[in-house]
Homo-oligomer: A and B are copies of this chain.
């Protein structure tokens, strides 16, 4: 079969700021998956897309072409409605862990096909793998059976869903082309649509610890994804949420599992509880179950029951102690006053350098490593008392982790000159798009 297009022609079209035709998009995504379009050609195209953009038709077609590169799943034979949730990633973002069993406890099936972490944001699978015995790799039949019996599953996405996206994502990661709204949106949505969920709630993070550093970019990304969902017949809603400061009081793997257990037990940090309930309500609304109040399911222990069933079904020992790091190091508050800023990216980098994250896909992660925050913005801190505690199996990592935190927080003296008083509590939820 002769090729219907040629890579240079497609690249030059976008380079010259023209729109790609449906045929060009179908061909280039398919030919890249087949290896006919080379990596160095696709990276040049990705850079041209990043700098010159794609319009809504192009993004929609690109997403469809990526879905067509692989298999599609189908949840319609399940006895309950399915709703999926996706977060664009942030520091301390453990929300999937309490959320999936909570929504399942409300009668909705929650399939969470997740990934591992790369760089400063943690991966959901890395967190759950800190539970002794828990395994991420399920067969299609195992996943379906668990969705039917337990109602919630968090597992690794198979390589048969949108393989074009898998290949393109790895390429973008090494070519400075990750931060293209068109490519981020089509990457996320191609996987979610191929997965076959009936409804989808997006948690689009905004701030230093997120891909999107400002509200305008986050809103554009969210709207693009909501539009793509609608085009594909998937009920889609997006919340814009704060990632200027970390979520909750921990960033790490086992540390975040423990914090999630606190939430499932009816406690946990306010911001994690607030965001978990907000996302649960959106998921229930999308599934037509808005009459159920998820707060009740946290209070009565039924969310915790689903958690235990979900972890046990995947081989995890829910009664085993979680791993802890061999070494700890405290960072002390340099002055007394009100903590007015604690930078998410800096905390994420510190957790990564402590061993909680990986620099390359093949790197291992430490289950116990991470950062524990003793104060959040708005809290009062005292000079010489611990501000954060660093956890790692390797004490040589503390120095570089501490470097990450330099300039990462502001403390204002309560009545000193220049003080502006305690900041208003930050809103976790900054906006909503449908």
A175: chain B residues within 8 A (beta carbon): 7-8, 11, 40-41, 44
Which of A45-53, A64-72, A157-165, A368-376 lies on the face that meets chain B?
A45-53
B174 touches A15 (CB 8 A): no
A46 touches B44 (CB 8 A): yes
The interface on chain A, measured as residues whose beta carbon lies within 8 A of the other chain's beta carbons, has a size of 24
Query: Could you tell me the distance between the alpha carbons of A237 and B78 in the complex, rounded to whole angstroms?
Result: 76
Give chain A's interface secondary structure class: helix
Protomer copies: 2
A42 within 8 A of B: yes
A36: chain B residues within 8 A (beta carbon): none
Per-residue 0/1 for A397-428: is the Cβ within 8 Å of any B Cβ (1 yes, 0 no)?
00000000000000000000000000000000
**Shortest distance from the beta carbon of A164 to any chain B beta carbon, whole Å:** 16
A39 within 8 A of B: yes
**Shortest distance from the beta carbon of A115 to any chain B beta carbon, whole Å:** 19
Nearest B residue to A13 by beta-carbon distance?
B176
A12 within 8 A of B: yes
Query: Could you tell me the distance between the alpha carbons of A177 and B51 in the complex, rounded to whole angstroms?
Result: 14
A39: chain B residues within 8 A (beta carbon): 38-40
A44 touches B41 (CB 8 A): no
**Shortest distance from the beta carbon of A349 to any chain B beta carbon, whole Å:** 15
Per-residue 0/1 for A9-51: is the Cβ within 8 Å of any B Cβ (1 yes, 0 no)?
0011001000000000000000000000011111111111011
A171 within 8 A of B: yes
**Shortest distance from the beta carbon of A183 to any chain B beta carbon, whole Å:** 12
A12 touches B44 (CB 8 A): no
Q: What are 26 A-B contacts with C-beta separation under 8 Å?
A: A7-B174, A7-B175, A7-B176, A8-B175, A8-B176, A11-B175, A11-B177, A12-B176, A15-B50, A15-B177, A38-B39, A39-B40, A40-B40, A40-B42, A40-B43, A40-B171, A40-B174, A40-B175, A41-B175, A43-B44, A44-B44, A44-B177, A45-B176, A47-B48, A48-B51, A51-B52
